[in-house]
Structure 1
């Protein structure tokens, strides 16, 4: 009752702090000061306001008071009754064990360093002292890497022979002798005379490098080289530099020594038009040599081509049968004959020419390249068909013995001697020599490795750049695909709105006398539409001028929509200059050689640099001058310029500005022609 009375009496008065509470609050303040000093050293800049500190102290005091009340109540219940003085002394001497332990943890020892704070308190303090995260660090912008080193390129699988490529100066030429053999090039007197008859007196740069390499010695002229096969060739030269003649002349020179007709030269081209053009070149050079030249493009029926190419299809012949010495074809039709024509064999092949190699290597039609390469190599004896009538001789339809001759590399397939081996046996390889030609020859290691080239020799017609006069610098330009253009080519660029492109074409035709020109569009439909619009314009223009001082330009379309006979007829008219302007798609942009083309207009700008190179290469051929015009829409100008900069070819392309005043005379006529075109397409 005494304790209760005292509590009631002291109610409403501020309670005096006990010694335990004072010690607790002192330790609290010391600990907070220690944390503040530690935070300043670590750079955390912890700051506690006086208001927060006072609020925290009041909370701590309240917690301590409540704890004291609880302790007092426990003592009243546990201790015997006594007077006030004795209770007070006993309370000071014996505090709760929990309180004593807490005091020992919070009170620093005088004999040594203070104890580390509790992990729970540290975590609470760190959580309360978090500051907003700093901004993320700035990273540098990406940039184009430098050209890789030679060792890096070798590690990436690039053909090491490319680093040893022979650079040929584009200006280099070789004059043919007036009579007799050409000792420097290796051409015979008969071939030199034939070239003179065709009006060819000089060999161009790529020809001066490739022809002597193929005709270096008499051994190279052999039809079969099973023990020492020849090296393969990769040649890169600008369009119009004479790549076709560079392989036609050596093939005709070497195959002229043949006695029995076998398929010894295979030329693969991407389009039918190129096949016909190359055939004309072979026929012109090989005139009087007795060589038989055939084509396979799908222009005629498959059965008709079989009759033209293969002599006997009724009996299996291990050596094959052929009516032609040279076959010029497209890859799709070649695979058809390999699959479906009996006795069509490539085992006697001496030359495999892949012209426009970058485009053909990109085609995967029926995996044509792997199939052709496999057909040039001998198979195992187990793959010989059981239908073979005889291992060495077959019988023709007349009952006479038919020679079943095998190429030297295939002799092990004869069944009687297949299991017979002697010490004199030596490994024989195919004599097929691969010749790759292109204006933009690929440097993709995976595509080059797929060719299985045998110790290849690279020829690159390209002069060393002024900023990189060394051979190493020029080779790096080759690797990075820096394209070269004919020195006699002049290039122009006109930036205009889309609706003004027809006006720009009319302006070029009438103001700059663009005749004997090829105009390239993006599709066959665009070709047809542009030709009709131009015809309407020329007709109205002639009527308005009454025909005075104006010669109407003849224009025709050339696209894949036309039949083969129509395309051939149009090309003949264009060569004879009966047609002044030929509007075409990219079908004709590769390889077609029309000597009098003096202008090339890209009505629709090319989407990549390779297309641009092959388009403008239709002019300025064989040392002649030529102009290339590119009409670039305003929204395409940035892309086109970046494409030229990436190829390091922006400087030669000069921008020509055409004002509204320049095209104003043609606007009324153009609007009338446009109305007529709309009437045609609205029917």
Structure 2
């Protein structure tokens, strides 16, 4: 039986091979006829066509050998006819096309392919007509244009410099380690300071000048006589912007030129205006000015709102009975806050800024970020003279008008006569603007609001630090310089463990004479109460650690008293808000603890700058909650400062003794107090607001 099946399959394959041979033979003859009829005009296209047809024929011969019927019925019928004697193959009928696979998995010729083969045999394709000269040319397709591509983004260095003044890019870099000894006698052309001023500095214990002072004093007190003049209407002086670390001597850098130049004055006018963000800084700068200007006869005034408005008016203005074009002043130097300054500009008669020689803006980045009734625009407008107005009719003119000390740039504003000087030229104000900050802004919009006149920039930066990162200067990329002797640490802990970490620093790391910064005044007061209860419960000796709160909620007199006790080291820890994070100079501060981590790099710079000042050493500690660690590290990394902050790991073993005392005594002893005390010192009230 098996032999019969094999013999039948052999007969079937032979029959199919004969049919395929006849088909290929007819196709070859048809191709030769078409080739002889068509002209040989496009040899290349014809060769491609022949190649394609030959490839198709070869493919068909390979794919369709052997052939089988698509359906089982037709296949069995063919086998039956072959067994009966091998009938002659009938012509193929036209049927629809379909693909089918045999049980063995081979591709078989479908009915559709058989129909195409029959059509090709019965009706050959017509031969292509020859192309004549009148026949239209074939339409050519349009060339393919390349897709548009986006240009490469400009580098960071170019983007960072867009809109900036070229003077900021070309700032003078000063090495913070440079020092200049003070010569007590003789001339000193290096700084331009007089012998009297140098002797006064030595009496105060200042024997050398710091980096920012050595760079700024020669620029402001040069050999030119015009630099020392009170009025410079024809020789416009350059404005100055200084970016230097905290504790580098910026206050003394502008106090010394003010005292040197204003000491030559004869008539008292308001010639130096110092604007500061807080009252505490105003008092600190006043103490420095009074110490340096002792015996010079200069009159120094303050305007902070601490006293009544009428009292300040009587201290600042000499005559308020009549309006004087030149103003009337009792002080040569005014130290003030911006809000109170605007009050006097708008409400004090004869309070004038036309004689101003120096306009000092200390902590400039903070003052420029806060509007204060648009104080800067009003101050700059008060230093400028209004356009000249000539009366239409002037029947009488006084030959000898009453002079009330008008500044040269304001002479044309005299109300009675059209007064001219010998040199009838335009005169500009003599005001020279000086900006100081540890985090000086590089915002083009804020710098443009200052209306700086040919500014000169000084940047105090270490030579070991990178002057540029990705081609961007550090002052533009907001990478600020820290004091060289400062050691920085961070402790990452869970939020409920932050009070315990503070106790650990105080008792195990001997943190004394420290400023502890919190995020708000309320948090500072609560932390003080918690610390006092802990000390009362754990202190066995008679010398407990004294802690006080310092914030804006306290009256001015109480704040001054607390600050004096802290300077006298009667208070060991001063827990405060960011009120004194800027500018306050306390020499014995050896530690700064950020109980609440700062959210801005500028705030971090000013906080840690309260220690390691004037070349002294200091430590800065930051308590970072676990959910804040990623953001805090990213902030330091963006400022290029993460490498300098060392992480300190404190295990449970290190705080075991404090932890037991903290949990057993503080938390359990508080409910034992009287009911009215319990409501005010409940643990949830004491601890949770400190870190939530």
TM-score of the superposed pair, with normalisation by structure 1: 0.74
Tell me how far 1:405 sits from its aligned partner: 1.2
User: 1:350 corresponds to which residue?
Assistant: 357
SS of the residue corresponding to residue 275 of structure 1 reads helix
Q: Quote the residue 1:435 is aligned against.
A: 434
1:632 aligns with 2:624: yes
Q: CA deviation at 1:674?
A: 4.0
Structure 1 spans left out of the alignment, 5+ residues: 1-33, 42-49, 58-105, 114-138, 385-389, 395-400
Q: Is the 8 A contact 1:147 1:476 kept in 2?
A: no
Which residue does 2:504 correspond to in 1? Answer: 507
From the superposition, tell whether residues 411 and 153 of structure 1 become closer, same or farther in structure 2 (CA, over 3 Å): farther
Q: Secondary structure in 2 aligned to 1:553? A: coil
Q: State the distance in 2 between where 1:221 and 1:466 align.
A: 36
* 8 A contact 2:156–2:472 mirrored in 1: no
Are 1:185 and 2:191 matched, yes or no? yes
Residue by residue over 1:118-153, the C-alpha shift from the partner in whole angstroms, topping out at 9 and shown as x without a partner, is xxxxxxxxxxxxxxxxxxxxx99xx9985314xx65
- In the TM superposition, what is the alpha-carbon distance from 1:417 to its structure 2 partner? 4.6
Match of 1:309 in 2: 316
Contact 2:157 2:470 in 1 (8 A): no
Q: In the alignment, what sits opposite 2:424?
A: 425
Counterpart for residue 531 of structure 1: 528
Residue 279 (structure 1) shift? 0.6
For 1:652 and 1:213, locate their aligned partners in 2 and report how far apart those are by CA, in whole Å: 33
> Aligned equivalents of 2:356 and 2:461: distance in 1?
31
1:576 aligns with 2:576: no
* CA displacement 1:498-548 (0-9 Å, x = unmatched): 111111111010111100000000001100000000011111111xxx32x
Cα distance in 2 for partners of 1:179, 1:313 equals 45
The corresponding residue for 1:407 is 407
153 and 449 in structure 1: CA distance in 2 versus 1, 3 angstrom threshold: same
What's the secondary structure of 1:661's corresponding residue? coil
How far 1:380 moved relative to its partner? 2.3
For residues 377 and 204 of structure 2, what CA distance do their matches in structure 1 show? 38
Structure 1: distance between partners of 2:415 and 2:344: 26
Distance 2:608 2:153 in 1: 28
Structure 1 match to 2:287: 280
Superposition map of 1:132-143 within 5 A: none
Alignment pair present for 1:289 and 2:296: yes
Tell whether the 8 Å contact from 2:160 to 2:472 is kept in structure 1 after alignment.
no
Counterpart-to-counterpart distance in 2, 1:610 and 1:599: 19
**Contact 1:381–1:418 (8 Å) recurs in 2:** no
SS in 1 for 2:654: helix
For residues 262-661 of structure 1, the aligned pairs below 5 Å read 262-382=269-389, 403-418=403-418, 424-465=423-464, 476-542=473-539, 546-547=540-541, 551-661=543-653
Offset of residue 431 of structure 1: 0.2
- Taking the aligned partners of 2:153 and 2:612, their CA distance within structure 1 comes to 34
Q: Judging changes above 3 Å, is the alpha-carbon distance between structure 1 residues 473 and 350 closer, same or farther for their aligned structure 2 residues?
A: farther
Shift of 1:669: 2.5
Post-superposition CA distance 1:68-94 (Å, at most 9, x none): xxxxxxxxxxxxxxxxxxxxxxxxxxx
Deviation at 1:680, TM superposition (A): 2.4
Residues 248-259 of structure 1: pairs in structure 2 closer than 5 A: 248-259=255-266
Tell me: CA distance 1:473–1:528, structure 2 relative to 1, closer, same or farther (3 Å). Answer: same
Q: Give the 3 Å change call, closer, same or farther, for CA 539–466 of structure 1 in structure 2.
A: closer
Rate the CA distance shift 1:357–1:107 in 2: closer, same or farther, 3 A. farther
Cα distance change, pair 144–527 in 1 and its aligned pair in 2 (3 A): farther
The 1:662/1:391 distance shift into structure 2, 3 A limit, reads farther
Task: Report the 3-state secondary structure (helix = DSSP H, G, I; strand = E; otherwise coil) of the residue aligned with 1:200.
Answer: coil
Closer, same or farther: CA 167–392 of 1 in aligned 2, 3 Å: farther
Structure 1 position 421, deviation (Å): 8.7
- Give the TM-score of the pair, scaled to structure 2: 0.73
Distance 1:467 1:369, change over 3 A: closer
Q: Any conservation in 2 of the 1:392–1:405 contact (CA below 8 Å)?
A: no
- CA-CA distance at 1:464 after TM superposition: 3.5
| Change over 3 Å in CA distance of 1:593–1:500 after alignment to 2 | same
Deviation at 1:465, TM superposition (A): 4.5
Q: Deviations over 1:236-292 (max 9, x none)?
A: 100000000000010011001111110000000011111111111111111111111
Does the 8 A contact of 1:232 with 1:434 survive in 2? yes
What does residue range 191-270 of structure 1 map to in structure 2 within 5 Å? 191-217=197-223, 218-270=225-277
Flag the 1:242–1:393 CA change in 2: closer, same or farther, 3 A. Answer: farther
Equivalent-residue separation in structure 1 for 2:494 and 2:570 (angstroms): 32
Check whether the contact 1:167–1:462 (CA below 8 A) recurs between aligned residues. Answer: yes
Q: CA deviation at 1:216?
A: 0.4
**Secondary structure at 2:643 match in 1:** coil
Q: Check conservation: 1:554, 1:579, Cα contact below 8 A.
A: yes
Against the structure 1 CA distance between its residues 264 and 391, is the aligned structure 2 distance closer, same or farther, given a 3 Å change threshold?
farther
Per-residue CA deviations over 1:31-84 (Å, capped at 9, x if unaligned) read xxx9xx99x99xxxxxxxx99x94899xxxxxxxxxxxxxxxxxxxxxxxxxxx
- Aligned-residue offset at 1:301: 1.0
- Does the aligned pair in 1 maintain the 2:244–2:459 contact within 8 Å? yes
Specify which of 137, 141, 148 is matched with residue 157 of structure 2.
148
Q: Which residue in 2 is equivalent to 1:171?
A: 177
Q: Is the 8 A contact 2:323 2:349 kept in 1?
A: yes
In structure 2, list runs of 5 or more residues that go unmatched. 1-48, 57-69, 72-94, 100-122, 131-148, 392-396, 672-677, 686-692
> Per the alignment, in what secondary structure is the counterpart of residue 515 of structure 2?
strand
Decide whether the 8 Å contact of 2:157 with 2:471 is kept in 1: no
User: Does the aligned pair in 2 maintain the 1:172–1:205 contact within 8 Å?
Assistant: yes
Rounded to whole Å, the distance in 1 between the matches of 2:591 and 2:351 is 43
